[in-house]
A and B are shown apart, each in its own frame.
Chain A
């Protein structure tokens, strides 16, 4: 394992399209459900427990067994009822593969536009990272993306936002450990925690005439 390689994969500056996505936060901000740092705290904890856990488990599973890509991809379709969120996940998967191909030799079976966690698992496998490491990157990414969007959308104090992320780091590690432990499970038994309000928000968001984030 290489810690520096893991940091590369988790870095928000990785040119993988993430900056254009708010992880559903933009819709919730517009609905008035997230206004300040305590609202963001609740949003990120919910995100970590649902989408973060699912992403981490699927990224770890893809990393652990590169022959399961298409099966895992279908499993994520089943866990993503919102067509808008499916598109957003696949767009980010495609962008991640573009970055990954430039850095490592990716397994061909990953396809052209997989869900983001499958792409992340493929990159991690190609980079020689372990399932638990990519699970940490996935869980971390599930909250740092919306956190950075919150700074831009709400003008929150960036130090307060990073203090929050630091408080959430142990929870991030815990979620990643749980996810990695289950990475060998059959796809149907992998985590399937959902957030219906994010699904509904994403569908409204996709119809807006003015939006700053793609999702």
Chain B
């Protein structure tokens, strides 16, 4: 008899025991962990609408999940559910104790726990979107939490925003200038915004978007597809 095979009693099927000290289970995750993309920006600039659009555009082709940091514990999740873009089990909400920037930059533990819980519950994922709470122009994500970050500003906030700069506008891997459809109504000059963004950001990309007109956030979805493809 093989030394690993032994009998416990007449009613029992012979079976093997795992080597002591060796975990008999397969690793929980195979392959690389999900790409994590942070989405930050001022209140009302369209972060949740962008997340919803990305879920619509990418949900069928990528295994994705979302972490929200809104003070309304269920508001963003409800928005995604109402719009039918993501089932509840793919969304986690994190509370930020009045400091949305702390939760994405200085103390990222709750967000990391949420990402890990999603991966543990859903299995391997391709993409996790981490949406920050609405904050100001200085909010950026820690590299310990995300791989790439998108900063969303909007035309209705005034065409001076790119010129004001700040870490979000200056250093985000992608700057999204949303609500271009409102430009004529608020007297914003998109060419000024484009010029100022280029001056602040050097070679980093900036895209103009109107989520009211482009419900699939086409240029942002393409940018994310490129990131996911480059990781494989």
* Chain A residues with a Cβ under 8 A of chain B: 13, 15-22, 91, 94-95, 98-99, 149, 152-153, 208-214
Contact = CB atoms under 8 A, between A and B. Distances in A.
Interface stretch (B10-18, B99-107, B152-160): B99-107
B129 to A, nearest CB: 20
Interface of B: 71-75, 94-99, 102-103, 106-110, 112-113
Nearest to A208: B73
Given A94-B109, A95-B107, 9 more contacts: A15-B107, A16-B109, A17-B107, A152-B97, A153-B98, A209-B75, A210-B72, A211-B95, A214-B95
A15 B109 CA distance: 7
24 contacts: A15-B108, A15-B109, A17-B113, A18-B107, A19-B97, A19-B102, A20-B103, A20-B110, A21-B97, A22-B97, A94-B109, A95-B109, A95-B110, A95-B113, A152-B97, A152-B99, A209-B75, A211-B95, A212-B95, A212-B96, A212-B97, A213-B95, A213-B98, A214-B97
A209 B73 contact: yes
Nearest to B102: A19
B81 to A, nearest CB: 14
A91 B113 contact: yes
Contacts of A91: 110, 113
B113 A20 contact: no
A153 B97 CA distance: 9
Given A20-B103, A214-B95, A99 B73 contact: no
A22 B96 CA distance: 11
A127 B164 CA distance: 45
Contacts of B113: 17, 91, 94-95, 98
Contacts of A214: 94-95, 97, 110
Contacts of A152: 97-99
Nearest to A95: B109
Nearest to A21: B97
A214 B71 CA distance: 10
A152 B71 CA distance: 14
A99 B107 CA distance: 10
Nearest to A14: B107
Contacts of B98: 149, 152-153, 212-213
Contacts of B75: 209
A103 to B, nearest CB: 13
Nearest to A96: B109
Contacts of B108: 15
A22 B97 CA distance: 8
Nearest to A152: B98
B109 A209 contact: no
A95 B73 CA distance: 20
Contact of B74 (A21, A153, A209): A209
A35 to B, nearest CB: 18
Nearest first, the 8 closest Cβ-Cβ pairs linking A and B are A95-B109, A214-B95, A20-B97, A15-B107, A152-B98, A17-B109, A212-B98, A213-B97
A213 B109 CA distance: 14
B73 A19 contact: no
Nearest to A212: B98
Contacts of A19: 96-97, 99, 102-103, 106-107
